[in-house]
Amino acid sequence: MIIEQIEDKTSCGSRLKQLRLMAGFTRREFQNQFDISQNTMHAWENGRLPLTKKGATKVINAMLRIGVECSLSWLLNGIGKKPFFIDNYQEQKISHLHHDEQSSLYIEDNFELLKELEFYKNTNPENTIFLINDDGMLPFYEIGDFVGGKRKTVNFEKYSGQNCIIELPSNVTLVRKLKLNYNLSILNAFCSNIDTTEPEPILKNITPISITPIVWHRRVLSID
What domains sit in the chain, N to C, each tagged with a CATH number?
9-85 (1.10.260.40), 112-218 (2.10.109.10)
* Regions of the chain short of the pLDDT cut 70: 1-10, 86-112, 114, 221-224
pLDDT at 152: 94
Q: What is the pLDDT of residue 95?
A: 53
pLDDT at site 110: 60
**How big is the CA angle at 171 (ends 157 and 63), to the nearest 5 degrees?**
130
Single out the residue of 189, 116, 111 nearest to residue 148, CA to CA: 116
Give the pLDDT score at 24: 74
pLDDT at position 4 is: 40
Q: What is the pLDDT of residue 6?
A: 40
Write down the H helix ranges in 78-196. 89-99, 104-109, 111-123
Specify the pLDDT at position 160: 94
The predicted pLDDT at position 108 comes to 52
